[in-house]
Each structure stands twice: as structure tokens, then as C-alpha cells.
Amino acid sequence: MIRSLIDRCSPELADNFIFEIIGSEDGKDIFSYEMSENKVMLKGNCALSLAVAYYHFMRDCCGAYFTADHSLAYGDFALPSEKKEGVIKGRYRTCFEYTTFSCAACWWDWERWENEIDFMAMNGINMPLCVVGTEAVWMKTMLDLGMHENLALAGISGPSFWGWQLSDCFDGYLPQATTESIDKRLELGRKIADRERELGMTPVMQGFTGYIFRNFIQGKIRARMKKADEWCLFPSQYQISVRDTTFHKIGSIFYKNQYLLLGEAKYFLADPFGAHAPAKNDSGFMSGLGTAVYQLISAQSDDSVWLVHSSCAVPAMLRGIPKDRIIIVDDSNKFLDENLEGFNMIVGTRFNNCDVTSIHGDISAVSGAEYDKISAKNPSVCGIGSFSDGAYSNETFRQYVLACMSDDGDVDAWLKKHVANRYRTDSSAAFEAMNLLKSSCWRSGQPSREHGSAICTRPATLLRHTSIGDSGNDIEYSIFDVFAAAEKLLEAKGTTYEYELDVCDVLRQALSDLANVVCKKALDGYKNKDVHAFEENTNLFLGIVEDIDRLLLTKKEFSLPHYLSLAREAGVNDTEKQNYEINVLSQVSIFGPVKDTVMYDCCWKEWGGMLTSFYALRWRALFEILASSFKKLRRIPEKTKKQVYDRDLYLGSEFGGSLSRVEKEWIATYTPDNESVGKENTVDVANELVSKYRANF
């Protein structure tokens, strides 16, 4: 295992390593590296520990870092001058959510997944969520139950929405168009699962909860079932009664097909009411539901384990289930002080929900860094998780969250080494930039969710939230510190592509935060009937949006045309390619359903090519209306008559209705300008924009 990983990551250095499997007295995963016979001796109690030892050596002695696509880059080879030993924290170490597979990982090919799996191994992940290819599992399950192929295919949501379907939110939204695409996903999923097992991981697979697609009804499958509450205006799904034999029948077929198509599994993630309230709240119903879900999981092997998110971990549902056959996954640490009857628990750090473009997080409260303290307080804690839907934005925070699983959690020591390797610079300015981010975007006490982006907020005269569940559009740190961090990064003069990516991301965050402030000033100018303030700040705001767009287009990782290209490449024919483009454009804008939506802007992206073509278009429409009604007595109302999740109804006003037509036309007609991506140098544009906006901070 370790030999093949080294051959992939550093083939020319492969002959410099020798390995030894060692025992662990207390059952913990341990690792070390040292010089032996003029080679590097890697030691660990298991294959995965050897991968961690390898990475720690490469990082500490060869200046290694993970590139944008999570491959390993490194400098000159050097033997270690002293022995280093370490412990990988937690018995269970997991990553990903269902929605990750429809956000950051949606269009990854096998080459990208190979890098990611090696990246996970070198960070000690031993039970990653693994659901690529489940489209084929559900497809075969429906066919086995006698459903017509076209009806079954129509129940499989498109790639940009499949993660939400796995969470039982809806089904068949912008669905797959061909069985060839389903087969292609299965081929990729099998490769992923096999490689993870090869590296010593135990993949976490999907569990059956009793929810079935609406097409089961059309397929005339008879069962006692209840119509679930609709989720965010999507058509309702159905949940089979646990007392109906069909519950066990469909669940058994599903698990059989998952085994046949994706291989054996031990861990299964199943949230019986993650997206919907339980059909009944009485303890008898909850106990019966838990028993039914567990019985199907326990039938898969003698040691199979049910994973359930803490939001669904109702004690009544879990009562009677053996303690060693269930793990509660707490991705927010809010259940640590709750009495959950002694069940094993994984604590995690959640960030960049829905892959929103944001540098955010409390770096002082990362679960891995706090793990010893947390587990000492609560003996039920036995694992760590990294839960993010994102990639590229906020990458340093992401890598620190994972590094804490095998490092001591000294954030300053880690950051110094990280920026020296990642940027290939010995300038102290890079570390100073990180300290400025620690006092702002990553400050202690940051809310669990990122603040909104005024640029990406659906235009209104009162800014409250960009997406559901964010911490609002108020910024509770000094935006000057973020801008100063961008200046320090430019001063550091790094030499790598990843340095340029981080310069782009940090300056984007600074200018986005400035746009928040400027937008509110423009809206205040309207409310106060101050023509000068309104005109000055609307022009400044739109100028900032255009400049951020220009900056982001210097890097494909922050550009909409790039993701549309990936989507097209994933399609097997022209129909599928167009369908996948619509998947991307819908997810990052209105989400859905098309007619009326609650989830609009939940996956907002500050991406080049999108800021000017979509977000600026929306804001200009509002500013023009405000300018034309400036002197009228009748003011534009700040809120619609009813708010959902503290946001305006999508069609709650005349302006909202007209805006919806603009948004849908954009989805139908947007043409990416691929030639605009990467035309300018990131650092040159960044230096120009820093000089231009310095006085505004």
C-alpha cells in the first residue's frame, strides 16, 4: 500500500524508504520517521499510519505541500536529522458530507480523485464518506422492483443535486438523461472505493432510511407509506412504514445492490429525518424506526455500524441498539454536553457549507486541535471529522483542520511551516498575513457559518442573509485586517501557483467585505434621500464587483467557465452535456424548484464570469428602480409580507418576480467566455487593485 502511494506521489524518491509495522500498546494509531542505513525508516502500526509518517517526513524535511488539486509537490530530498514520533488522534477519522459530492467534488475525474484519496490517507482519514456511484445502486434497485427504465432514470437527480437527494430532500431534479452516465459514475465510484480500501480506509456508504422516490408511486409499488413534508417547496417524497414488509424488502435489495456494485462496507450513514420531521414524535414510533433502520444495517455483517448525524440522534430512536453498533456524527460540537446515553461520537469542524466562496472559521476551535480536551471531558468522543463542501477557497483553513488529526495543534508552528512550503518563500510577511487572518476571518468566536456576501445577496433594500443559515450580512471583524493580509501576501513574493491562488482568494475576500460596507452605504443613501451618497456608493460597489470578477478570472479554480467546461466533459452526449451545464448554473443561482424557490443563492459563488454576468446584473436592476423612485413619496418596502428563513420570498414582490425572469433567462442563455480565463497574471492584477482600493479601507 505505502509503496504504491509513494510511487504515485514521489516516484523518483521511492528507493529511499524502508518500512516497518510496529505494535501499539494502547490501540492508538502511531507513526514515526527516522534515518536508518542512509534511508528513511517509516514506522506505523498500520498501513495508513505509514502514509501519515511519509507525509510528515516529506513536509518536514523536503518542503512538501499539497497543490491546488491535492497532489504532492516537494523540494530537494534530505534525510532526517532526528527521529520524529506522533499519534493520530481518534479511533475514527472521517470527512465529507453528502452535499460535498454535488459541490466541490461534483466533476472530479479519476485523476483528481486519486490525488484526493492519497491526500486523505496522508492526513490519516480512515473512514471517508464514499457515495460516488450510488446513482447506479438506486437505478438497479428500482429496476429490480419492476420499474420501467425511463421512469427509474427520471428519479435520479443530476450531479449538482444528487447529494441533496441522498439526504432525502427531493428526487428527480434536473435528472440524469442517459444510463451511460449512470454507468460512468459507477465505474468511477468503484475505483474510488477500491483505492480507499487498498490504502487501509473503510469507506462509509449510504444507509437506507425508508424514503422512496415519487416514481415508486407511478411504478405501482404497493406499500403502506406516508407522504413526507415537502422540503423547501420541492415535491414531497414518501416514507414507507417500518411495519410494512416492503420496508425490509426494498432496503434489502438496496444493500444487496450496493454490495454488488461498490463492494463490501462496514459503516453506513443513515439520517431517518434529516430533511423532514418524523412522521410521529411518540417514543414508540421513534423506537420502531430506529430498530428497522438498524436491523437492515446489522444484517450486512457481524460488525456493521450505523452512523447518524447528531441532528437526528434522538435518544428514543436509538434506545435498545447496542452501543458498539452506532456512532453519532456531530459536525458542530453542539451535542457534546448532551446526554446521548453513552454512544460513540465523532466531533468535527464544519466550514464552507455548499462550497460558498468564503474565508471563514474559528481556527482556535478546530476539533482536531481541541480533541484531547474534548475527549477527556466526554469519554464517548472517539473520532474527528472534517466537514466541508468546498475546494480552493479557504484552503489553508481546510488543510489545518486535517493536519490537526496528526499534529499537536500548535497553529502558529503549523502556519509558519505551511506558508514556507506552500509559497516557497522565507519572507516573514507570509506568516504575518496568516496572523492578520487569525484576527479577522479565522478569529476566535467566529460563528459556525460564514457571513453573507452583499454581492451575491439577492438585491433588496435591506440586507439580512445571502443564503439560509448564514450568520447574516454584518461583518464582525476589521475588514482592514483582511486587506492588510492581502498586502502582506503580495509582499511575501511567493513563487508557486498555490501562492497566486491564495493571493487571489484573500484579496477577493477583502474586496468582497468592502463591497458589503459600500452596498449598505448606497442603500442608506436611498433611505436617507441622499442622492450623492447613493450615486457615489452604487458606482463604487459596481466597480468593485467588476474588479473582483477580473481578479478571479486570472485563475480557473475561481472561474465559472472552467466549471462549465468540466461539466460538459462529464457528459456522454450533447444532451447530457447541456443538462450538466444547466445543473451547474441552476445550483449556483436559483437552486430550485424552477417555478418558486426557497434555496436561492444557497450555493453562492464569487466566481469570475459570474459576478458581472449575474450578480451585477441583478444589482443594477434594483439600483435603477431605486434611482427612478428616489423622490417619490412611496418607498420600496424593505421586506416582503412574509419571510422564510429570515429572507424575502422569492416571488414576494413585483421586483422579485421580474428578477426571477432575469435569473432564469441567465440560466438558459449564459455563454461562457473560456478565452477570458487566465489571460492576466494574478499577482499583477492584485497589485493594481491593492493600490486602487487602499484608500477605501
* Residue 135 · residue 251 · CB < 8 Å: no
Residues pairing with 240 in the sheet: 225
d(CA 365, CA 109): 33
Q: Does 230 lie in the same domain as 199?
A: yes
- Least Cα distance to 247 among 301, 294, 310, 308 occurs for 294
For 581-626, write each residue's pLDDT tens digit.
Answer: 999 999 999 999 999 999 999 999 999 999 999 999 999 999 999 9
Helix (H) or strand (E) holding 349: strand 344-351
123: domain CATH number is 3.20.20.80
For 378-408, write each residue's pLDDT tens digit.
Answer: 888 999 999 999 999 999 999 999 999 999 8
CA terminus-to-terminus distance, the chain: 52
Per-residue H/E/C for 561-618: HHHHHHHHHHCCCHHHHHHHHHHHHHHCCCCCCCCCCCCCCCCCCCCECCHHHHHHHH
Q: Does 549 lie in the same domain as 466?
A: yes
Q: How far is CA 93 from CA 128, 201, 304, in A?
A: 8, 10, 17
Q: Is residue 270 part of a domain?
A: yes
* Residue 619 · residue 548 · CB < 8 Å: no
d(CA 543, CA 554): 17
The band of 336, judged by pLDDT with boundaries at 50, 70 and 90, is low
Q: Does 114 lie in the same domain as 33?
A: no
* Strand ranges (E), 145-195: none
Q: Is residue 414 part of a domain?
A: no
Q: Does 546 lie in the same domain as 657?
A: yes
All cell numbers assigned to 345: 461520537
Q: Does 224 lie in the same domain as 324?
A: yes
Please give the average per-residue pLDDT across 415-439, as a whole number.
97
All cell numbers assigned to 149: 427504465
Q: How many CB atoms lie within 10 A of CB 541?
A: 25
Domain boundary among 88, 108, 140: 88
Q: Is 626 exposed, middle or buried (0-12, 13-18, 19+ CB in 10 A)?
A: buried
DSSP 8-state class, residue 225: E
* Residue 139 · residue 151 · CB < 8 Å: no
d(CA 497, CA 437): 20
Q: ∠ at Cα 290 (265, 330), nearest 5°?
A: 70
* Residue 232 · residue 226 · CB < 8 Å: no
* Residue 346 · residue 327 · CB < 8 Å: yes
* Residue 55 · residue 7 · CB < 8 Å: no
Q: Does 180 lie in the same domain as 82?
A: no
Range(s) of the domain holding residue 70? 2-88
Q: Does 204 lie in the same domain as 59?
A: no
3-state secondary structure at position 211: strand
d(CA 144, CA 222): 14
For 559-582, write each residue's pLDDT tens digit.
Answer: 999 999 999 999 999 999 999 999
Check residue 239 and give its pLDDT.
87
For 173-198, write each residue's pLDDT tens digit.
Answer: 999 999 999 999 999 999 999 999 99
* Residue 237 · residue 196 · CB < 8 Å: no
Percent of the chain with pLDDT over 90: 84
CA-CA-CA-CA torsion for 411, 351, 73, 430, nearest 10 degrees?
-50
* Residue 478 · residue 440 · CB < 8 Å: yes
* Residue 102 · residue 159 · CB < 8 Å: yes
Of the CA atoms within 13 Å of residue 391, those in its CB half-sphere come to 24
3-state secondary structure at position 5: helix
Lowest-confidence segment of 234-238, 357-361, 690-694 by average pLDDT: 234-238
Domain boundary among 376, 409, 442: 409
* Residue 159 · residue 106 · CB < 8 Å: yes
Q: Is residue 182 part of a domain?
A: yes
591: domain CATH number is 1.20.120.670
Check residue 557 and give its pLDDT.
98
Mean pLDDT, the chain, as a whole number? Answer: 94
The band of 159, judged by pLDDT with boundaries at 50, 70 and 90, is very high
Q: Does 274 lie in the same domain as 162?
A: yes
Check residue 332 and give its pLDDT.
60
The band of 667, judged by pLDDT with boundaries at 50, 70 and 90, is very high
Q: Does 377 lie in the same domain as 232?
A: yes
Please give the average per-residue pLDDT across 453-463, as a whole number.
96
Check residue 630 and give its pLDDT.
80
Number of structural domains (the chain) is 3
Taking the CA atoms of 290, 291, 292 and 296 in sequence, report the sign of the dihedral they define. positive
Q: Does 251 lie in the same domain as 114?
A: yes
All cell numbers assigned to 80: 532526517
Tell me whether strands 381-388 and 344-351 are parallel, antiparallel or unpaired: parallel
Model confidence at 338: pLDDT above 80? no
Check residue 363 and give its pLDDT.
96
Of the CA atoms within 13 Å of residue 253, those in its CB half-sphere come to 17
DSSP 8-state class, residue 14: G
The band of 216, judged by pLDDT with boundaries at 50, 70 and 90, is confident
* Residue 45 · residue 25 · CB < 8 Å: no
The full length of the chain comes to 697
Q: Does 522 lie in the same domain as 387?
A: no
- What are the two backbone dihedrals, phi and then psi, of residue 507, each rounded to the nearest 5 degrees? -65, -35
d(CA 534, CA 515): 14
DSSP 55-118: HHHHHHHH--EE-TTS-EE-------SS-EEEEE--SEEEE--GGGGGTTTTT--HHHHHHHHH
Q: Does 628 lie in the same domain as 535?
A: yes
Q: Is residue 425 part of a domain?
A: no
Q: Is residue 429 part of a domain?
A: no
Check residue 578 and give its pLDDT.
96
Domain boundary among 37, 61, 88: 88
For 54-112, write each residue's pLDDT tens digit.
Answer: 999 999 999 999 999 999 999 999 999 999 999 999 999 999 999 999 999 999 999 99
Q: Is residue 428 part of a domain?
A: no
Residue keyed to cell 424593505? 638
All cell numbers assigned to 166: 441522498
Lowest-confidence segment of 267-276, 358-367, 412-421 by average pLDDT: 267-276
Residue keyed to cell 479519476? 110
Check residue 312 and give its pLDDT.
87
Q: How far is CA 407 from CA 87, 97, 128, 415, 630, in A?
A: 8, 24, 19, 12, 58
Residue keyed to cell 487498498? 198
Model confidence at 331: pLDDT above 90? no
The model's pTM is 0.96
Check residue 633 and give its pLDDT.
53
Buried b (16+ CB within 10 A) or exposed e, 32-49: bbbeeeeebbbbbbbbbb
Check residue 409 and give its pLDDT.
85
